Structure 1
Amino acid sequence: MIGKGIAGAWMVVVLMVFPVLAVSMEPMAVVKAPIDAVIAILNDPRYRVADTRLVQRDEIWKSVKPMFDFEEISRRAVARNWRKFADAEKVAFTDVFSRFLGNTYIDKIQGEYHNEQIVYLGQNFHSDVYAEVRTTIVRETVEIPVNYRMRRGADGQWKVYDVIVEGVSLVKNYRTQFASILRKEKPAQLIERLNKKLAEQNRQLAEDG
């Protein structure tokens, strides 16, 4: 009990003296801050005016992009095929895949958000470098579990490498698709496919305003 009291006192000191470090070391804080920012952007009356959808989209992307480890997401999405990618192809794939994911999921958020509440259920540490943040999206009478699997990098920062929605892994979903393509095509062709899809997305977004 005494140890707990001392630990609590030291935690207050640490939070006061090193607030940025404290946030960077907590997986839940890494997830919660950008999600809160996104909700604020979605509720911002400035974006209810016509022709502000793309501006809102850019603000959402700026908020959420830093919380994701897109290189790790990309590597896991192609799994063992990653070694077939040349260094330049790894960079190109990570770049286009991250932007494709951003477009896909921000479009979904903009289209389906209706003042849902995000409940933060807790964080589990699986090791010194792996953790999972558990949340639930509360939508009227429906609750949707969304978990964020995270990895701590060499710089000590926690970042998301997979999102599990109702038990379905984002990474595994794309891994299945990419494995099918890479059985027949080379990495450069997969990158070309994604670039075409990204171009189509961007054209549609420009038309929708």
Structure 2
Amino acid sequence: MQKFSSLFFSRRLTRLLTAGVMGLFFAGSGAALAQDPVDANASPNQFVEVVANNALAEVKKNRAVQSGDLNTINQVIDQYVLPYVNFEKTTRLAAGRYWRQATPQQQKDLVEAFRGTLVRTYSGALANVDQRSSIAILPFRGDANADDVVVRSTLSQGNGPAVGVDYRLEKTPQGWKIYDLNVEGIWLIQNYRNQFAQQISQNGIQGLIDALNSGNK
């Protein structure tokens, strides 16, 4: 079995995910340091902006995050990002047709393993964010009353050109949830779908779960 790190993480993918995470954590460069309540039923743009501003405020004041402490970074992600992300849908779409072939326990295990992979990736990104970076939420396009929308933004980086970062959201009974990310034209789910399919075709659903968990150790 190929190790997860070599199979799933090209330099380009890591860079794109880093930009996406920076986008989520640096929305609204002029954000106040006070935490605002998140209204999951607000407009899509407002929802993303408040989630991002709250996370940014915590990152700015938390020296352990700035120093790269992984335990603290994971706590921040758990508190400020994960409640607003639908990991089950992200995993189900990434697995594609193979999702239906998995047992209920394998589906649960795959969600947890993939969640660990993304958290690990986000943790590495947060330890290296550029404090000069900022992101502008762009005017909303489409029907704000739709159940599936895209929030667009532009990330300005201190050490590189500006890039586009888009967030796909779905409306759930609990309000908006983020479930996909697009950086420089590459959607996260589509990228993982291709790589998941390769791993599953070689080693089955359990092989994919094992590969993900191996990379999370």
TM range (shorter): 0.7 to 0.9
| Aligned equivalent of 1:135 | 153
2:203 aligned counterpart, secondary structure: coil
Q: Residues 124 and 159 of structure 1: is their aligned pair in 2 closer, same or farther, counting only changes over 3 Å?
A: farther
Structure 1 residue 65: Cα displacement: 0.4
Q: Residues 176 and 52 of structure 1: is their aligned pair in 2 closer, same or farther, counting only changes over 3 Å?
A: closer
Q: Cα deviation per residue 1:72-103 (whole Å; 9 max; x = unaligned)?
A: 10011011111111111111111111121011
Q: 1:144 aligns with which of 148, 163, 180?
A: 163
Q: 1:103 aligns with which of 78, 100, 120?
A: 120
Could you say which structure has the greater relative contact order, defined with CA pairs below 8 angstroms and 6 or more residues apart? Answer: 2
Structure 1 outlier segments of 4+, above 4 Å = 20-23, 48-53
Please tell me the root mean square deviation across aligned C-alpha atoms, in Å.
Answer: 2.5
- The amino acid that maps onto 2:193 is R
Structure 1 residue 46: Cα displacement: 3.4
Distance (whole Å) between structure 2 residues aligned to residue 173 and residue 193 of structure 1: 17
Distance (whole Å) between structure 2 residues aligned to residue 143 and residue 68 of structure 1: 25
> Which structure has the greater CA radius of gyration?
1
Residue pair 1:69, 1:161 contacting (<8 A) in 2 also: yes
2:131 aligned counterpart, secondary structure: coil
TM-score (norm 2): 0.74
| Aligned equivalent of 1:168 | 186
Give the fraction of aligned pairs with identical amino acids, expressed as a percent: 25
Residue pair 1:123, 1:131 contacting (<8 A) in 2 also: no
Q: Residues 47 and 99 of structure 1: is their aligned pair in 2 closer, same or farther, counting only changes over 3 Å?
A: same
Structure 1 residue 22: Cα displacement: 6.0
Structure 1 residue 157: Cα displacement: 1.1
Structure 1 residue 57: Cα displacement: 3.7
Query: Which of the pair is proportionally richer in helix?
Result: 1
Distance (whole Å) between structure 1 residues aligned to residue 86 and residue 122 of structure 2: 16
| Aligned equivalent of 2:52 | 35
TM-score (norm 1): 0.77
Pairing 1:46-125 to 2, within 5 Å after superposition: 46-47=63-64, 52-125=69-142
Structure 1 residue 109: Cα displacement: 2.6
Q: Unpaired runs of 5+ in structure 2?
A: 1-36
- The amino acid that maps onto 2:202 is K
1:148 aligned counterpart, secondary structure: strand
Between stretches 102-111 and 62-71, larger displacement belongs to 102-111
Q: Residues 45 and 92 of structure 1: is their aligned pair in 2 closer, same or farther, counting only changes over 3 Å?
A: closer
- The amino acid that maps onto 1:73 is T
- The amino acid that maps onto 1:128 is A
1:194 aligned counterpart, secondary structure: helix
| Aligned equivalent of 2:205 | 187
Q: Residues 24 and 174 of structure 1: is their aligned pair in 2 closer, same or farther, counting only changes over 3 Å?
A: same
Distance (whole Å) between structure 2 residues aligned to residue 36 and residue 60 of structure 1: 13
Pairing 1:4-19 to 2, within 5 Å after superposition: none
Q: Residues 54 and 21 of structure 1: is their aligned pair in 2 closer, same or farther, counting only changes over 3 Å?
A: closer
Q: Unpaired runs of 5+ in structure 1?
A: 1-19, 200-209
